[in-house]
Amino acid sequence: MGITKQNVAGGGGNSSGVEVMPDMYSASLSMYAASLQKPPVAPAAGGFFKISRRKLLKNLEVNSAERISSWVDSMKASSPTHVKAAPRSLTEDHSSSWMLHHPSALDMFEQIIDASQGKQIVMFLDYDGTLSPIVDDPDQAFMSKKMRATVKKLARCFPTAIVSGRCRDKVYSFVRLGELYYAGSHGMDIKGPAKGSKYKKGDQSVLFQPASEFLPMIDEVYKKLVEKTKSTPGAKVENNKFCVSVHFRRVDEKEWTELAQQVRSVIKEYPKLRLTQGRKVLEIRPTIKWDKGKALEFLLESLGFANCTNVFPVYIGDDRTDEDAFKILRDRGQGFGIIVSKFPKETNASYSLQEPEEASHEFFTTFG
């Protein structure tokens, strides 16, 4: 697919500009079983999200209590400690059923290699929870020397990209490998290899920043959120350049409602921004149709593989935001996605790996 200005600007969404994604693992087993048979609905494409400022403010005022409650419920659902208990036999059946649909990438390694024969493998890797463990302080999410050496080895064999919700510069400071592609801010800030990659195209370094016009707005919202949330112990606001992350991993659950209200009080004034949620984090980002899936397509095109049938993309990630990339691979019918998770959850990935980072390291070592 050609990447143009038209297909960068976003498509349809809800009128409130708020996107709260429930944790499917907390749903009932019967609902989950049904979901396995029903493919996800593809998002609408083209144009900005159609958001009426008047309607947004009206909805936020009239339904603010329900909205905040919904946010808090989703925040609780993102914690494995809130998974509803089920009889052991049902839990085991659920896990077995999920593994049938998403078998271990390690167990299926020979089949994966067979499928990639004669094709150019391209590696896409999330950072937090995939290359590094999930930690309470996001500034301490360091990858191990062992993992860095493994990723360096991968990059010698295949074009390799890190695709993260973090600011690109922050991810680079963690990884410190100049031969990789980096897509920060959920793919809204893409830069090619600085050195040492035989896959580098020409001298261009910065490849794409589709949300540049939002930088002043993002910076403004970041400052407001820092001020607004400073009364909530444990809350951490992170400026990821093209998006703002409000981490609540260290916030007492009793304070989550207050934190959600604080975030709402800021973003209700910005109809061109939307709220999404990751693992113990609320994220505010522009309402453009750009995500990790679009970043994957852009990078494949940049590498000259846009319309190739002999390319084999592999995307490994653990977060809801990685689902956009998993779905792109399913729709293309090329390569596969691998979900890194201890728990069964609805996903577009084909295979799975267990946390923590050692599981990913074992697969990378075998694959490289």
Task: List the catalytic residues.
Answer: 126
d(CA 19, CA 22): 10
Q: Please report the sign of the dihedral spanned by the C-alpha atoms of residue 294, residue 298, residue 303, residue 308.
A: positive
Inter-residue contact 32 to 96 (CB < 8 Å): no
Cβ atoms 243, 323 nearer than 8 A: no
Nearest to 239 by CA among 226, 250, 228: 226
∠104-314-301 over CA atoms, to 5°? 165
Which helix (H) or strand (E) covers residue 312, if one does?
Answer: strand 311-317
One-letter amino acid at 328 equals I
Both structure tokens of 298: 């852009």
Q: Which of 293, 288, 303, 126 is nearest to 212 (CA)?
A: 288
